[in-house]
Amino acid sequence: MKDIIIIGGGVIGCAIARELSRYKADILLLEKGNDVAVGTSKANSGIVHGGHDAKPHSKKAYYNVKGNAMFDELSKELDFPFRRNGSMVLCFEEDLVCGLQELYDRGITNGVPGMYILRGNEAIRELEPHISEKACAALVIPTGGIVSPYEMTVAYAENAAVNGVKFRFLSQVESVKRTDNGFEVACADGFVEEAKVVINCAGVYSDVISNMVCGTNYHIIPRKGDYVLMDKTCGYLADHTLFQQPTKMGKGVLVTPTCHGNILVGPTATDVLDKDDVNTTAEELNDAFTKACLTTPTLNRRNIITQFSGLRAHLDSDDFVIGESNVPNFFHLVGIESPGLTCAPAIGVEIAEQVAAKLGLAHKLHFEAKRKGIPHFATMSNTEREKLIEQNPLFGKIVCRCEVVTEGEIVSAIRRPVGAKDLDGVKRRTRAGMGRCQAGFCTARVMEILSRELGLPMEEITKGGASSNIVVGRTK
């Protein structure tokens, strides 16, 4: 019997887990994937939204502005990449400048600080020299930021684990039944556990879980977004996150730097039927890229290093469903789509408070609030590097050439609490394989390290858990 079971190891589930780990409680997080941050949390824009876009008085607006303000401190406390680079919404037609004013007004209502409107191409290009000459006005949102969404999720998870939260992976929840003491949660692999409180953070599957317990009729439409990632050599093309003003033609795509210096372009928006359909299509990628060139005309296809696609959990009602459901002690977070990543810190704190109040949980005497990330060799000074190699020579062994990732970092990623168990897990934590050769050089070496550290034969090393094995056997 657990006090709390959290379903879903995305950024929301992990944020709640971490905030709840401040209290004396027995907490278990169930994740159907092989790692945290393997659904929506790994494949999104990585934007910390200012909050100008959300409908006033919606939950999205409330948590967005509140969450946004928490990032500076949180990213330091949990040591994950975050930069307040500022966002801009670009207008390309004089006639539509009034639309920017509407966005500005909405932002004011939502409580977004510091916004202003820039007029004229020259003024815009002073801030962003590579923007199209057609941009005639821009709404600047200085509080906008960028974050590495999977590293943030991992940071939350690690810190939660250090403070006692248990994680169970490859645990797809099949049923949640009400019992006299609370709930009985059963997984596809036969695992069954009871808990007083269940928190449903199942992302695109959150409707299924809630409907199971609450008899509700939520309907999540997985909204697929395709992205294009550009080489770091074009990182100079944008410093702010550059949105296009939504028009009758559509929402437009964004061009943004990432925390690691790449340029990210996207997303498209296609409603799909399959909740696992992360199939990129040539048409959508073309579409995203073509639209992005409206913002930044000098983007060059030759510098594309990869494409990916993620699903947003879009709810018909268009706002988050957050909090305790009609079934006592069953909390749910349904339809957490953009700006969900920005909202996560605020949602984490509020849900934790609600659950703690409900169960009458007391604070722990010793809560470890700080988490130190994996040393990041690539961005260190030579003196720091020297010191690090002296302490541990494995930091002198470069495994991923493109991103300059050392064996020391990879070993650390594997050995940490909620450590990496597969190639993608190593990649999200260390960036090995994230660079321009896309793991061509380091795949075999990372596999060997995983095999050694986990004590698994090479045949059992996977790309991302389940049956994503990389080699099928020995040649002889």
Partner 1 sequence: MTNRNLVIIGGGPAGLAAAKAAYDCGERDIIILEREPELGGILNQCIHNGFGLHTFKEELTGPEYAARYIEQVEQRGIEYRLNATVIDINKDKQVTYVSEKDGLVTIQAKAVILACGCRERPRGAINIAGMRGAGVFSAGTAQKLVNIQGYLPGKEVVILGSGDIGLIMARRMTFEGAKVKAVVELMPYSSGLNRNIVQCLNDFDIPLYFSHTVTQIQGKDRVTGVVVAQVNDKLQPIKETEQLIPCDTLLLSVGLLPENELAKNAEVQLSTTTGGAVVDENLMTSVEGIFQCGNVLHVHDLVDFVSAESENAGKCAVEYIRGGQICKDKLTINCTNGVRYCVPTVLNKDEVYASQSFKMRVANVFKKVELAVFADGVKVYGKKRPVVAPGEMENITLSADIMKVLKNAQSVEITLIKGDAK
Spot the catalytic one: 49, 240, 314, 376.
49
Helix H, strand E, coil C: the string for 338-406 is CCHHHHHHHHHHHHHHHHHHHHCCCECCCCCCCCCCCCCHHHCCHHHHHHHHHHCHHHHCEEECCCCEE
> Minimum distance from CB of 312 to partner 1 (Å)?
18
Tell me whether residue 328 or residue 440 sits nearer to partner 1 (CB atom). Answer: 440
Q: How far apart are CA 101 and CA 111, in angstroms?
A: 15
- The total number of residues written for the chain in this structure: 476
Nearest of 262, 263, 241, 255 to residue 141 by alpha carbon: 241
Strand partners, 29: 6, 167
Catalytic residue list contains 49: yes
Using CB under 8 A as the criterion, which residues of the chain lie in contact with partner 1 when the complex forms? 229, 233, 276, 278-282, 285, 301-302, 304-308, 382, 385-386, 389-390, 393-394, 396-398, 401-402, 404, 406, 436-441, 443-444, 448, 458-459, 462-476
What residue type is assigned to position 213 of the chain? V
| CB of 337 closer than 8 Å to CB of 314 | yes
> Minimum distance from CB of 3 to partner 1 (Å)?
34
Give the orientation angle of helix 423-430 with respect to helix 407-415, to 10 degrees.
110
Please give the angle made by the CA atoms of 201, 205 and 208, to the nearest 5 degrees.
105
Q: How far apart are CA 221 and CA 472, in angstroms?
A: 36
| DSSP reduced 3-state for 278 | coil
Catalytic residues: 49
